[in-house]
Amino acid sequence: MTRIFTVAIDGPAAAGKGTVSRAVAAHFGLAHLDTGLLYRAVGAKVLRGADPTEAARALDPADLEADLRTQEIASAASRVAVIPEVRAALTDFQRDFARREGGAVLDGRDICTVIAPAAEVKLYVTASPEVRAERRFQELIDKDPTLTREGVLEDVLARDARDMGRADAPLVAAEDAVVLDTSEMSIEEAVGAAIAIVGSALPAG
């Protein structure tokens, strides 16, 4: 593929959008960007004492290679994501990536609504808070044996409240996005549904 073709995927934490996005990108040979990693990288720097806006402006691609998938960093990412200056600093990078030659898949919180509103495919991947909390618990328990299901659910609900309630680019399903509820789906079923949706929108040839 040499033309521009953007797949924008939004959704709340632990809904499965990252897994779906990576699988879609691999299936169709598209570049992939987990935009949440940008905010996690900034959050990690803030935890080490950096100023959020300065950290966002100085972000280097190498910063995304660190282990950023901890509960502490995820919470920090959600906090810095409500800062307008941080979002502005990261917006141009994401928009350029979205319209790169060869096609791209981006997943995050405001891809369909802010970063790539003209995307050829828009998906909103979601699931119930309880299902998402259990998925996150299973993902993180080996790294942090002190976690509890109740604590993870509280964190998921708190992140939802911050992401959906922020004044700047709140998390919301775009009006023209296809909603994919994965609450009762296996990973294979969710990926298959997403691939079918993207495939139906790809230009022939």
76: nearest Cα among 114, 101, 35, 44:
44
Distance CA 5, CA 137 (A): 34
For 145, other C-beta atoms within 10 Å of its C-beta total 7
Which residues carry a binding-site annotation for ATP? 11-19
46 exposure class (CB count in 10 Å sphere: 0-12, 13-18, 19+) = buried
Binding-site sequence positions: 11-19
Tokens linked to 116? 């790539």
Per the CB < 8 A criterion, the answer to whether 140 and 152 are in contact is: yes
The Cα–Cα gap between 92 and 142 comes to: 36
